[in-house]
């Protein structure tokens, strides 16, 4: 996905947090991850905060790091909060400086318990993609929601056949928007002032761009994510569609894994897909292999 400096230096959700140079932002994510680079590092620069990070997340060392750095904000993805809440109480939690969290994939079933157990004042959940044209924010801290649609027509969910991936259309040939209580494919409108630059490979860009969605001439980016619509324009994540699945906050390409496996030889064919595992977030990779005779 293509990026420009304007987007990387966007302060993103920091203003909603009322963050300042007094904050210390802690990220246990590698800087090639957009959450660490675009939101964490660049966001800290914008408000003059201190940015602290380590190579990889460690649940056993987490609270020790928080105390060492005096961290006030934690950048999280997917499973990380669950890893922390499943661990025994740490001696370093007492009088912790950590008050705010910013990230993606915080699950509804542990939200309230996590806040009360670790004395977290605010959790800001959001939805965004490196190549996406728009994002969603949950600044009202509603558990389980990735954000709220505030401007009509910018973020929409449309009806899709979840088996074939084909969009349902009305009699005029336009896509059909979902109503509250329904699940659909999330699309983000591409406008002149959108941050969408597409991919280096133009064919990939063309695959994700849909034209004439709700009216003739409009253009939308297909996020590839199925979402649930709720009352008051709230949105929750449902599933990742297509030849990718999400595990531990990362998108995994089934075709890429298959091509690597096939390069070893000895396989007549292989199939890679994601499967749900109880009490975990996302889907784990499953591989079916047929050996050569």
Residue 134 domain-assigned (yes or no): no
Range of the domain at 97: 5-127
| Listed residues 221, 240, 259: the one ending a domain | 240
Helix or strand or coil: residue 39?
Answer: helix
Overall domain count for the chain:
3
For residue 235 the two structure tokens come to: 């949105």
Contact indicator for 178, 158 with CB cutoff of 8 Å: yes
pLDDT tens track of the chain, all 293 residues? 445 555 555 555 555 567 889 999 999 998 888 888 888 888 888 888 999 999 889 999 999 999 999 999 999 988 899 889 989 999 999 999 999 999 998 989 899 999 999 999 999 998 876 666 678 999 899 999 999 998 889 999 999 998 888 999 999 999 999 999 999 999 999 887 665 555 555 666 667 889 999 999 999 999 988 999 999 999 998 887 767 777 776 778 776 787 787 777 777 677 888 888 887 777 888 988 878 76
116 plus 16 within the same structural domain: yes
CA distance 8 to 278: 36
Identify the CATH number of the domain in which residue 102 sits.
Answer: 3.40.50.980
220 plus 252 within the same structural domain: no
112 plus 16 within the same structural domain: yes
For residue 119 the two structure tokens come to: 């004395």
Helix or strand or coil: residue 112?
Answer: helix
Residue 133 domain-assigned (yes or no): no
Residue 139 domain-assigned (yes or no): no
Identify the CATH number of the domain in which residue 159 sits.
Answer: 2.30.38.10
268 plus 155 within the same structural domain: no
Residue labelled with tokens 């909603």 = 16
250 plus 236 within the same structural domain: no
Sign of the torsion formed by the C-alpha atoms of 37, 41, 44 and 46: negative
* pTM for the whole structure: 0.79
Helix or strand or coil: residue 246?
Answer: strand
């Amino acid at each position: 996905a293509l990026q420009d400096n304007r987007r990387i230096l966007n302060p993103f959700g920091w203003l909603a947090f009322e963050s300042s140079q007094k904050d210390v932002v802690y990220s246990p994510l590698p800087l090639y991850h957009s959450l660490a680079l675009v939101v964490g590092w660049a966001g800290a620069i914008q408000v003059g905060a201190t940015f602290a990070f380590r190579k990889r997340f460690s649940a056993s060392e987490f609270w020790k790091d928080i105390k060492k750095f005096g961290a006030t904000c934690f950048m999280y993805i997917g499973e990380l909060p669950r890893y922390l809440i499943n661990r025994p109480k740490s001696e370093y939690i007492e009088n912790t400086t950590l008050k705010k969290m910013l990230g993606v994939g915080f699950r509804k079933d542990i939200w309230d318990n996590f806040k009360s157990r670790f004395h977290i004042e605010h959790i800001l959940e959001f939805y965004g993609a490196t190549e996406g044209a728009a994002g969603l924010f949950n600044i009202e801290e509603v558990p389980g929601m990735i954000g709220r649609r505030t401007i009509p027509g910018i973020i929409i969910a449309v009806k899709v056949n979840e088996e074939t991936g084909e969009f349902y259309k009305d009699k005029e040939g336009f896509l059909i928007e979902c109503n509250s209580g329904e699940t659909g494919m999330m699309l983000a409108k591409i406008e002149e002032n959108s941050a969408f630059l597409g991919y280096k490979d133009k064919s990939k860009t063309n695959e994700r761009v849909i034209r004439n969605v709700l009216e003739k001439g409009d253009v939308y980016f297909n996020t590839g994510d199925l979402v649930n619509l709720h009352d008051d324009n709230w949105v929750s994540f449902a599933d990742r569609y297509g030849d990718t699945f999400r595990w531990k906050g990362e998108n995994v390409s089934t075709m890429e894994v298959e091509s690597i496996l096939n390069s070893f030889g000895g396989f007549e064919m292989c199939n890679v897909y994601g499967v749900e595992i109880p009490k975990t977030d996302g889907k784990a990779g499953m591989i079916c292999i047929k050996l050569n005779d």
